[in-house]
């Protein structure tokens, strides 16, 4: 224990250490209540919205791909029909 106290004394630690620890603890809890909880809420909300938007974008991309495929089939069918009509006169 004497070694422990000697090290702290050589580092310049005095009785104000306890007061400093208390001030830091109060500042931490105050910032947590006033700032960090709100920041956590904002980050979680933003992440939820981003994931939702990504899922919607994926769904829309799938719909567009399907619509493009249907359009391609219909245009190919119309081209074939027009070609057959042209040949048969």
Domain positions in the chain are: 16-88
7-29 confidence digits (pLDDT tens): 878 888 777 888 989 999 999 99
Q: What is the DSSP letter of 11?
A: T
Name the CA radius of gyration of the chain, rounded.
Answer: 35
Residues of the chain with pLDDT under 50: none
CA 68 – CA 21 distance, rounded (Å): 65
CA 35 – CA 28 distance, rounded (Å): 10
CA 9 – CA 5 distance, rounded (Å): 6
pTM above 0.95, yes or no: no
């Amino acid at each position: 224990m004497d070694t422990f106290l000697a090290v702290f004394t050589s580092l310049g630690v005095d009785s104000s250490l306890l007061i400093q620890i208390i001030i830091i603890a109060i500042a931490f809890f105050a910032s947590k209540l006033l700032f960090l909880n709100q920041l956590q809420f904002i980050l979680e909300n933003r992440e939820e919205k981003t994931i939702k938007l990504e899922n919607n974008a994926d769904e829309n991309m799938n719909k567009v791909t399907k619509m493009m495929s249907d359009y391609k089939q219909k245009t190919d069918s119309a081209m074939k029909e027009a070609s057959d009509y042209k040949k048969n006169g």
